[in-house]
Structure 1
């Protein structure tokens, strides 16, 4: 899943991966639904965190 992306992605890539807008992406990050961190003012999002969010949201076990 998401093999075309680096291990750490940007907000723009998150939007592309989930087909969502930036407001929705920032809401997911701010509420902790997708685990990420900020370096200076830039969000760093682990690709695995996005995959976990997708699995959890869809009710599918990731293992």
Structure 2
């Protein structure tokens, strides 16, 4: 699935992969849930950081309250 995307994503690409709105995407970045780089006024998300975020939801990796 992610093979069609570049190694460094922009916010729109990240939101498309996660199937979330841009507003939710920016909230994930602001909250620090997804590590990112800020280049000027744009956000860049390395694909490896997005995978790390997604792996956190794998069975057995969920943080329990």
Where on the TM-score scale, by shorter chain, does this alignment land: which range? 0.7 to 0.9
Return the TM-score normalized by structure 1.
0.86
Q: Unaligned regions of 5+ residues in structure 2, if any?
A: none
Task: Name the larger-Rg structure.
Answer: 2
Task: Figure out how many residues of one structure are paired with residues of the other and give that number.
Answer: 61
Query: Which contiguous aligned blocks of 4+ residues in structure 1 show a shift greater than 2 angstroms?
Result: 57-61
Q: Unaligned regions of 5+ residues in structure 1, if any?
A: none
Return the TM-score normalized by structure 2.
0.84
| Coordinate RMSD, CA, aligned | 1.5
Using the TM superposition, give the Cα deviation of residue 37 of structure 1 relative to its aligned residue in structure 2, in angstroms.
1.2
